[in-house]
Amino acid sequence: MYDSKVLASRVLLSRRDLDWDQKQLSEQSGVSRPYISQIERARKTNISVDVLFALADALGVTVQYLMGLTDDPLGEGSERVLREQSGDYVVFEVESGEERRVMQQLVDEYSALSPRSQRLAIEYLRMMRQVEEEEREREQRPPRIIGGEE
């Protein structure tokens, strides 16, 4: 979880660093000006991950910085993907924006499935991983010589 007061101050300070008003941040992020006002006054405590990413992208900072998970607004090259699921957050460490996009897509697709389909998806991924592990093991084995001298 995050502290709404930390988020409020970091959104406000980051916006002021860019010399923007709330309207400009709204235009750049796609988040409504009244909603930004509520965030900056710490009146909003349950903010969606999509809004966090939109604000972070517009402000040129990381989501971790806005949430108070780091004091480095630009990050150290590794980003985190956060997705809200049943009130909890799932955190993935990724190295690039492309990995972040793929992980977000996976989580979004998984979340849209029924519980039964989610179980089937997990089982399918496990089977795929097992097949890949078996293929790697086969590739690492020395070739068998058939019919040669021993």
**pLDDT on residue 93:** 60
Token code pair at residue 85: 């699921």
Instruction: Answer yes or no: do 55 and 111 share one domain.
Output: no
Residue 92, helix vs strand vs coil: strand
Beta bridge partners of 83: 90
Is residue 108 scored above 80 in pLDDT? no
In a domain, 150, yes or no: no
Q: In degrees rounded to 5, what are phi and psi of residue 79?
A: -105, 165
Write down the mean pLDDT value for the chain.
Answer: 80
Give the C-alpha separation, 26 to 20, whole Å. Answer: 10
In a domain, 86, yes or no: no
Query: What CATH code is carried by the domain that includes residue 23?
Result: 1.10.260.40
Token code pair at residue 22: 């709330």
Range of the structural domain that residue 34 is part of: 1-76
CA distances from 29 to 5, 124, 149 (A): 20, 37, 72
Q: Residue 1 — very low, low, confident or very high, per pLDDT cuts 50/70/90?
A: low
Instruction: Answer yes or no: do 71 and 108 share one domain.
Output: no
